[in-house]
Amino acid sequence: MVYAVFALSSFARSMYQILVHFDDAPLAYLLSGFAAAVYIVATLSLARSGRTAWFVSLVAVGIELLGVVGIGLWTVLDPQLFAEDTVWSRFGSGYGYIPLVLPIIGMAWLLAHRPRSATAETPVQPHP
């Protein structure tokens, strides 16, 4: 549920920024739009079950974690690079660091809830 709320809020903010203020900071606003798309994919895949949904979730949450750490570090080391903040700027400080904490929790949840492999399933016993 937290992913859904965050996906919706980051999507709404990034679309507003892209539509109204795009010329002010195109790179920052496009990165925010990309982050919103990642949150939407993560939300939709986390809401589903099965191996494919789990794998898509793992990739989306991994991209999210790499994005918030990479962009966060980039904006700390070179703050002049971005004219405006992105969702992932300064490790998500503009969003109460939720962008940093969310993928860590998401990754832990995914790793704890791995789908069973075909070989790990209990064999079917024949009926007597």
pLDDT digit of tens for each residue in the chain (128 aa)? 888 888 898 899 889 989 998 998 888 889 889 999 999 999 999 999 999 999 999 999 999 999 999 999 998 998 887 778 888 889 988 888 999 999 999 999 999 998 876 444 445 555 55
Task: Write down the pLDDT at residue 128.
Answer: 56
Is 36 inside any structural domain? yes
Task: Write down the pLDDT at residue 28.
Answer: 85
Is 128 inside any structural domain? no
Is 10 inside any structural domain? yes
According to DSSP, residue 87 is labeled T
Task: Write down the pLDDT at residue 119.
Answer: 46
Quote the pTM value. 0.82
Q: Which token pair is 12?
A: 């709404």
Q: Which domain holds residue 42?
A: 2-112
Is 23 inside any structural domain? yes
Is 127 inside any structural domain? no
Q: Cα 113 to chain center, whole Å?
A: 18
Is 80 inside any structural domain? yes
Is 118 inside any structural domain? no
Task: Write down the pLDDT at residue 120.
Answer: 47
* Count of domains forming the chain: 1
Is 122 inside any structural domain? no
**DSSP line for the chain:** -HHHHHHHHHHHHHHHHHHHHGGG-HHHHHHHHHHHHHHHHHHHHHTS-SHHHHHHHHHHHHHHHHHHHHHHHHHHH-GGG-SS--TTGGGGGGGTTHHHHHHHHHHHHHHHTPPPPTTTSPPPPPP-
Task: Write down the pLDDT at residue 63.
Answer: 96
Beta strands in 38-97 (DSSP E): none
